[in-house]
Amino acid sequence: MNKQVKFLDLGVRDYKESWDYQEELFKNTVALKFKKTREDASIETPNYLLFVEHPHVFTLGKSGDVSNLLTPASKLEEQGVSFYKINRGGDITYHGYGQIVGYPILDLDNFFTDIHKYLRFLEEMVILTLADYGLTATRSEGETGVWLDAGTPFARKICALGVRASRWVTMHGFAFNINTDLGYFDHIIPCGIKGKGVTSLKAELGREVPLPEVQEKLLKHFKELFEVEFV
């Protein structure tokens, strides 16, 4: 099993360009797994972790309800905001400046073949990172992602998750609000969950937080949870 993960910081990059890049890595890994099965069991499959910051975009998962987009896509386009229907799980979410979006493209055969555990590990990585800032975050029963004050009238989501997996290879991932302009969430019903808010690290701490600082903490916890070596 290959426990090495190639980490790539893509900086600010267009959503569609990043999606295409993910698809390329994902498809190459799946193809390599077929080759490994047919020809040579000793072939190692690669693992990747991409960090990226997207210009303003809304994405709707394959099981999502387009009615959760409250502003017509044509009007958003006039404001420079993109909209895509994509092939991950989950409903609608927003990506934008000041947000860390993480795309792990892992062959889970190198780790554990359990999607539920995989999602919980991604959540735990964010929960531990928030604890580094003195914030107590938790999961919300039946709702994927990371929350503050879950189970109370003040529940608010700080990190959304949505993934795709085929032959135990993953893509898509998480969106962690750091210095995010939360006003963009007014255009949607985030993740299709009514009556609950969204927040950011900046909103909770009352100050901006450097993205590289948060990235470093995320990588530390990812490394510990998945027991990987970054290359």
What integer pLDDT is reported at residue 119 of this predicted model? 97
Q: Tell me the CB-side half-sphere exposure of residue 125, using CA atoms within 13 A.
A: 29
4-226: CATH number? 3.30.930.10
Q: What is the DSSP letter of 27?
A: H
- φ, ψ for residue 87, nearest 5 deg: -105, 30
Q: Which amino acid is at 58?
A: F
The Cβ of residue 28 has, within 10 Å, a number of other Cβ atoms equal to 14
Q: pTM here?
A: 0.94
CA distance 79 to 71: 11
Distance set, CA 28 to CA 16, 47, 159 (Å):
18, 11, 28
What distance lies between CA 42 and its chain's CA centroid?
Answer: 31
The Cβ of residue 191 has, within 10 Å, a number of other Cβ atoms equal to 22
What integer pLDDT is reported at residue 1 of this predicted model? 86
What integer pLDDT is reported at residue 56 of this predicted model? 95
Q: Give me the active site residues, please.
A: 191
What integer pLDDT is reported at residue 193 of this predicted model? 63
The pairing of beta strand 197-198 with beta strand 156-166: parallel
**According to the 3-state scheme, what is the secondary structure of 33-98?**
HHHHHHCCCCCCCCCEEEEEECCCEEEECCCCCHHHECCCHHHHHHCCCEEEECCCCCCEEEECCC
Distance set, CA 199 to CA 95, 155, 159, 220 (Å):
13, 10, 9, 23
CB 83 within 8 A of CB 69: yes
Judged by DSSP in three states, 9 sits in strand
Q: Which two tokens stand for residue 88?
A: 């991950």
What integer pLDDT is reported at residue 142 of this predicted model? 86
Q: What is the pLDDT along the chain (231 residues), one digit of tens a residue?
A: 899 999 999 999 999 999 999 999 999 999 999 898 888 778 899 999 999 999 999 999 988 888 888 888 888 888 889 999 998 988 889 999 999 999 999 999 999 999 999 999 999 999 999 999 999 999 998 888 999 999 999 999 999 999 999 999 999 999 999 999 999 998 877 666 667 789 999 999 999 999 999 999 999 999 999 999 999
What integer pLDDT is reported at residue 91 of this predicted model? 86
Domain boundaries, the chain: 4-226
- φ, ψ for residue 135, nearest 5 deg: -105, 135
Q: Which amino acid is at 9?
A: D
